[in-house]
Amino acid sequence: MNGEFEPMIIAFCCNWCAYAAADLAGISRMQYPANIRVIRVMCLGRINPNFILKAFQLGADGILVSG
């Protein structure tokens, strides 16, 4: 990655919207960098703030909560 800073991003995505949108981005062949890991939930209501703190604690650079 040319020694440049590349953030490690976790995205929590709702199955019914944001996750579907990420799939749609794929179907539409939209291109974006590969440093994001999506964790699927059935609804963002599931996201306990602890998950976010834990991810930061373990070294995540950014967290996207989308739903």
Partner 1 sequence: MEKEEPRIGVFVCKCGNNIAGLLDVEALEEYSRTLPDVVFTQWNLYICSDAGLEEIKKGIKEQNLNRVVVASCTPRTHEPLFRSVCAEAGLNGYLFEMVNIRDQCSWVHAGYKEDAMVKARDLIRMGVAKAALLEPQEIITSNVAVRALVVGGGIAGLTAAISLADRGFPVILLEKEKELGGMLRSLYRLAPMDMDASEVIDKKIKEVQDNPNIDIYTGATIDKVKGFIGKFDVTFSANGTSKDVRLGVVIIATGAGNLVPEGMYQYDGHKVITQWELEEKLKAGKIDGNNVVMIQCVGARSAERKYCSRICCAIAIKNAILIKELNSEAKVCILYRDIMAYGVQNEDQLRKAKELGIRFVKYDPERPPVVNEDKVTVFHHLMGKEIDLPQDMVVLSTPLVASEEAEKVASLFRVSLDENKFFLEAHVKLRPIDCATDGIFICGSAHYPKDVRESILQALGAASRASIPLSQGEVKIEPIVTSLVNKDACRGCGLCVALCPYNALEIRDTDEGRKVNVITVACKGCGVCAATCYRHALSINSFTDDQMEAQIHSFLAA
Query: Residue 64: which of 36, 24, 30 has the closest Cα?
Result: 36
Under the binding rule (CB under 8 A), the answer on residue 4 touching partner 1 is no
Asked if 3 interacts with partner 1 (CB under 8 A), we say: no
Among residues 17, 37, 64, 66, the one that binds partner 1 under rule CB under 8 A: 37
Residue selected from 7, 35, 62, 64 as contacting partner 1 according to rule CB under 8 A: 35
Decide if residue 17 touches partner 1 (CB under 8 A): no
Query: 38: part of which helix (H) or strand (E)?
Result: strand 36-41
Q: Torsions phi, psi of 36, nearest 5?
A: -125, 135
